[in-house]
Structure formats: structure tokens, C-alpha cells
């Protein structure tokens, strides 16, 4: 999965920042299953300074989150629980 940086320096590798967004989305979905997972994932990425290059990839990640699968893009640093 490829990402575009939309803000300045991320302070971490792109894939790790993306993983944080995925983890935050999955956590929110687990707590509030009626959310729009795709939109939440976009918001989480954007809030971290990223945008997905491919909507298809993003849709696949969102589907995996809804299915309860663990999505591994980068390393999780433990800041999102």
C-alpha cells in the first residue's frame, strides 16, 4: 500500500504512521461498530499527514478491519490502544 505525505515531516516512517491510523480505526470500529470504517480510516490517515494513493487499497483495508482481520502495514509503536 502506498501513501502520499500531505503535511511536513511525519517524524516516523510512512508505513508506521499508516499503521497507527489503521490501528486507531480498528479500535474505534471495535468500540463503535456503526461507524463508516472507510471514512474513519481516511480521517485517521489525513490527521497523521497521509493520504492513500489507491482508493482500492484503502477499501480493502477497510473491509479487512470490518471483517475483524489484523491489518499489518508497518510497526505499531504502542501509542494507540
What is the rounded CA–CA span in Å between residue 61 and residue 71?
7
The per-residue pLDDT of the chain, averaged, comes to 90
Distances (CA, A) of 49 to 7, 13, 26, 77: 5, 12, 19, 17
Give, for 42, the enclosing helix (H) or strand (E): helix 37-47
Q: 20: which 3 cell numbers?
A: 497507527
Q: Which of 4-8, 33-37, 38-42, 52-56 has the lowest mean pLDDT?
A: 4-8
Reference 39, options 59, 19, 15; nearest CA is 59
pLDDT at 77: 59
For the chain, which residues make up each domain, given as ranges?
Answer: 18-66
Amino acid at each position: 500500500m502506498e501513501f502520499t505525505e500531505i503535511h511536513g515531516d511525519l517524524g516516523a516512517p510512512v508505513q508506521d504512521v499508516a499503521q497507527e491510523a489503521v490501528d486507531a480505526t480498528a479500535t474505534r470500529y471495535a468500540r463503535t461498530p456503526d461507524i463508516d470504517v472507510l471514512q474513519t480510516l481516511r480521517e485517521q490517515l489525513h490527521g497523521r499527514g497521509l493520504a492513500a494513493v489507491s482508493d482500492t487499497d484503502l477499501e480493502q483495508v477497510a473491509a479487512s478491519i470490518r471483517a475483524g482481520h489484523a491489518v499489518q502495514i508497518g510497526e505499531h509503536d504502542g501509542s494507540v490502544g
